[in-house]
Amino acid sequence: MGCVLIYITSCSQFKQNEMSITKESELIGMKRVSEVVGTTLKLMREYAKVGMSTKELDEYGGEILRSYGAKSAPYETYDFPGYACISVNEEVAHGIPSENKILKEGDLINIDVSAELNGYWSDNGGSFVLGKDIHNHQPLVDASKNILKKAIMNIKGGVKIADIGQIIETEAKKSGFKVIKNLAGHGVGRSLHEEPENILNYRVKTNRERFKKNTTVAIETFISTKSTVAVELNDGWTLVGNKGGFVTQHEQTILITDKDPMILTESNRIWN
């Protein structure tokens, strides 16, 4: 539940001003919850097997969160019907875990884990291919991961948000892909969605907003083979592309500094 869906107001009604890390206890709080969601994502990815339902995978993730005393953010914030969003193949985001959705060899899977612990919130996600890459999804997965890393390593206090969007779209085009334009990264810290809520995957010339030092944000890529807009299905949650195809998402929560950002969710090992 990392992304802000730009044309849906339900996400932004929970939005608060960005959280600024002003004391050590706040940094410790953000590090703890970020390690929890990162570890949960990593373990869920490793647990996923052919023949397993997405419901079973989700229940496993829920157990991990509970073992740390953490609460699922989408469940707590939006009453989402699952602990994590698990999107499979053509689903872009917000996929509902289901007993009827059985994982198959070569599936493109996205897991998005966000949670609250001791009043702090963090968010991360990653796409991967289950088993053998029989449908050739790996180039899309790799592009998403590499673009996220390049975008994040260009973020520091004072950098324009629009400039990071330009990096993401430019790199996507270089790889032969597109970006989803109505999903965005966002501030995170004292709630799931905070300002800035428009960390888009492309450049908006009119957006003069800049990243602020000592704030925490969730940066995420939405790299696509065909579509440029995510549309909601009748279940009220699941997003798919407007022109079909496939989309990969990778997301890290970071602390912005005046040098390289601190990757708070690095325990997910999505770059390893």
The answer to whether 251 is annotated as binding is yes
| Cα dihedral sign, 258-148-12-97 | negative
- Helix or strand or coil: residue 148? helix
> Are 1 and 78 contacting, i.e. CB atoms less than 8 angstroms apart?
yes
Reduced to 3 states (helix: H, G, I; strand: E, B; else coil), residue 96 is: coil
> Is 250 part of any known ligand binding site?
no
CB-CB contact of 195 with 216 (8 Å): no
Closest by CA position to 221, among listed 257, 192, 254, 183: 183
Consult the annotation and say whether 94 binds a ligand. Answer: yes
164-175 b/e with 16+ CB inside 10 Å = b?
A: bbbbbbebbeeb
Provide the edge-to-edge strand list for the sheet that holds 91-93.
91-93, 239-241, 230-232
Please give the Cα distance from 54 to 37 (Å, whole number). Answer: 18
Asked whether residue 193 is marked as a ligand-binding residue, the answer is: yes
Strand 230-232 with 85-88, pairing:
unpaired
Q: Which residues of 140-156 are buried (b: 16+ CB within 10 A; e: fewer)?
A: bbebbbbbbbebbeebe
- The answer to the question of whether 123 is labelled as a binding residue is yes
Binding residues for a divalent metal cation: 112, 123, 186, 220, 251
Binding residues for substrate: 94, 193
Binding residues: 94, 112, 123, 186, 193, 220, 251
